[in-house]
């Protein structure tokens, strides 16, 4: 398991700590149910077109495709620690889709992620499966669609978060939509 995680970390980002001094906060991309680390290809491409580098983007392939929070939050914890060691940074930003939002929130609340995450951006996140309130000390943006037929906007909204509604975007479409990309960029730059 740890070998797979290590390969994922080195497969997307650089192994050079030298770039950490000038690099932005690393971004960890967390997929949802039945997903994989390749779910964020379009968002990763967009972020690179906006100035982020491959050395700043890290996609995890979660062990439980069914969204088991105990397994996945432990994997996220190890992955984030690996990214922090590799980059020399003390915090990451997380962009999570669907159940990846709930798994990321579980990591933040129950596995020490509150001290390692600066910003959490969820896309159609099943956030309320974990909590109804954004964790304090972390900038949380929940982007969701009124057209999502998989995760209801009611599940995505969090008290204390920047809740942003879009329309005419499907659940999977949140990973490929230019309006959503612009909202992600804004949240990362705040």
- What digits encode the pLDDT tens for the residues 49-59? 999 999 999 99
Q: Give the separation between CA 105 and CA 69, rounded to whole angstroms.
A: 9
Residue 34 in this model has a pLDDT that exceeds 80: yes
Which pTM value belongs to this model?
0.90
What are the tokens at 126?
């099943």
CA separation (Å) from 53 to 25, 79, 82, 130?
Answer: 11, 19, 18, 31
Give the pLDDT band of residue 46 (cuts 50, 70, 90): very high
pLDDT-derived band at 22 (thresholds 50, 70, 90) equals: very low
Catalytic residue IDs: 98, 148, 171
Spatial CA neighbour of 120 closest among 60, 184, 32, 43: 184
pLDDT at position 20, please? 46
What number does CATH give the domain 2-13+22-189?
A: 3.40.50.1820
Residue where the block lists tokens 């994997």: 75
Q: Give the percent of the chain with pLDDT over 90.
A: 87
pLDDT of 1 reads: 36
Strands 117-123 and 27-30: unpaired
- Report the mean per-residue pLDDT for the chain: 91
| Helix extents (H) in the chain | 2-12, 41-49, 69-87, 99-110, 153-156, 178-189
What's the pLDDT band for 8 if we cut at 50, 70, 90? very low
Beta carbons within 8 Å of 189's beta carbon, 6+ residues apart? none
Answer whether residue 7 shows pLDDT above 80. no
Q: Kindly indicate the confidence band of residue 134, based on its pLDDT and cuts at 50, 70 and 90.
A: very high
* Secondary structure class of 137 (helix, strand, coil): coil
């Amino acid at each position: 398991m740890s070998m797979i995680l290590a390969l994922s970390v080195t497969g997307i980002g650089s192994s050079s700590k030298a770039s950490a001094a000038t690099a932005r906060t690393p971004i960890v991309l967390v997929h949802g149910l039945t997903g994989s680390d390749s779910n964020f290809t379009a968002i990763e491409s967009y972020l690179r077109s906006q100035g982020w580098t491959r050395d700043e983007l890290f996609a995890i392939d979660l062990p439980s495709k069914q969204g088991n929070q105990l397994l996945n939050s432990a994997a996220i914890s190890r992955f984030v620690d690996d990214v922090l060691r590799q980059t020399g940074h003390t915090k990451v930003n997380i962009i999570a889709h669907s159940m990846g939002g709930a798994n990321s929130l579980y990591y933040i609340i129950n596995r020490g992620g509150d001290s390692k995450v600066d910003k959490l951006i969820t896309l159609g996140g099943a956030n309320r499966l974990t909590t109804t309130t954004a964790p304090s000390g972390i900038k949380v943006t929940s982007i969701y669609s009124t057209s999502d037929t998989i995760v209801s906007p009611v599940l995505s909204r969090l008290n204390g978060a920047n809740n942003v509604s879009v329309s005419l975007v499907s659940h999977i479409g949140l990973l490929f939509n230019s309006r959503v990309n612009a909202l992600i960029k804004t949240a990362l730059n705040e």
